[in-house]
């Protein structure tokens, strides 16, 4: 087993070395993002519905099922509809991602957390893969139309998927930590933040950043470490048990930083 390293603690806000110095909890709700998540989600869904409509339109135009603008080649009309399809997917995904950063899913529900943070990618797949399949399997479309249409749709699918993916997903636990002003730790290259300096996941790290949960989120550490999450839950359960034993005369403390 690798030897546990002594940590150098650096303040995320000042860059100063605060190793061995008191690290008080940050002020509550420092910089926590706010907004109307419901409105953003509705906007995202509307754009995604429009994207699917443009996909249907692209299929109808490129296969000449819908005869409009006769002077323009069906292939060109179909590609134009695909461009609008891609734009709607990407715009909707940006709305959805912003909503997730305001009202995120909990890590405790792994399936919902994955779906919520990959919804844009799923929609991107639905908005282009059926077009590709229908075009390739259509017996009336010529080889050029199939080749060009498929390549363009595949490129748009890749662009939409990359633009829709949330590279720094945020969990409900992260927002709760930010709201209660809890100081947290993280490493430069890690993807999660920690509520305990002595977390086993940090044993091999030499330098840790210390700051608010919102600072960790802004640094791309949008989810809490599983080890710290379980440890905090146990501590809260123990504290609640003590409160119950005392007849509910004490307040439930936040997870402690060590």
Contact 23, 257 (CB under 8 A): yes
Domain boundary (139, 164, 189) is at 164
- Domain span at 202: 170-258
The answer on 148 and 194 residing in a single domain is no
Q: What is the pTM for the complete model shown?
A: 0.62
* Domain count of the fold of the chain: 2
In a domain, 128, yes or no: yes
Look at 59 and 16; give whichever has higher pLDDT: 59
* CB contact set of 144 (below 8 Å; sequence gap of 6+): 75
**Is the predicted pLDDT of residue 89 greater than 90, yes or no?**
yes
Q: Radius of gyration of the chain from Cα atoms? A: 25
- Flag whether 17 is in a domain: no
Looking at the structure, tell me whether residues 186 and 251 fall in a common domain.
yes
**Same-domain check for residues 43 and 113:** yes
Q: How does the average pLDDT of the chain come out, rounded?
A: 81
pLDDT digits 0-9 by tens, 52-62: 999 999 999 99
pLDDT confidence of residue 4? 59
Residue 13 belongs to a domain: no
Q: For residue 191, tell me if it sits in a domain.
A: yes
| Residues 158 and 204 placed together within one structural domain of the fold | no
Is residue 22 in some structural domain? no
Mean pLDDT of 99-114: 85
pLDDT band of residue 29 (cuts 50, 70, 90) is very low
What is the per-residue pLDDT across 30-50, written as a single tens digit (0 to 9) for each?
A: 344 445 788 999 999 999 999
């Amino acid at each position: 087993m690798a030897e546990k390293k002594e940590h150098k603690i650096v303040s995320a806000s000042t860059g100063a070395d605060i190793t061995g110095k008191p690290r008080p909890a940050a002020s509550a709700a420092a910089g926590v993002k706010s907004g109307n998540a419901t409105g953003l989600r509705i906007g995202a869904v509307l754009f995604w519905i429009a994207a699917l409509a443009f996909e249907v339109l692209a299929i109808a135009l490129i296969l000449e099922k819908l005869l409009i603008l006769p002077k323009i080649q069906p292939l060109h009309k179909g590609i134009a509809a695909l461009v609008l399809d891609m734009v709607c997917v990407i715009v909707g995904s940006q709305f959805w991602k912003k909503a997730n950063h305001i009202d995120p899913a909990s890590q405790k529900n792994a399936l919902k957390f994955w779906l919520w943070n990959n919804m844009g990618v799923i929609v991107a797949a639905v908005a282009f893969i059926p077009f590709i399949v229908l075009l390739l399997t259509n017996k009336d479309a010529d080889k050029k139309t199939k080749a060009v249409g498929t390549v363009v749709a595949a490129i748009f699918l890749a662009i939409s998927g990359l633009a829709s993916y949330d590279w720094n997903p945020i969990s409900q636990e992260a927002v709760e930590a930010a709201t209660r002003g809890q100081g947290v730790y993280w490493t430069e290259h890690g993807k999660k933040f920690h509520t305990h300096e002595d977390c086993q996941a940090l044993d091999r790290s030499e330098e840790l950043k210390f700051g608010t949960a919102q600072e960790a989120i802004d640094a791309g550490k949008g989810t809490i470490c599983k080890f710290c999450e379980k440890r905090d839950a146990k501590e809260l359960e123990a504290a609640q048990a003590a409160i119950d034993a005392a007849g509910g005369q004490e307040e439930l403390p936040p997870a402690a930083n060590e």
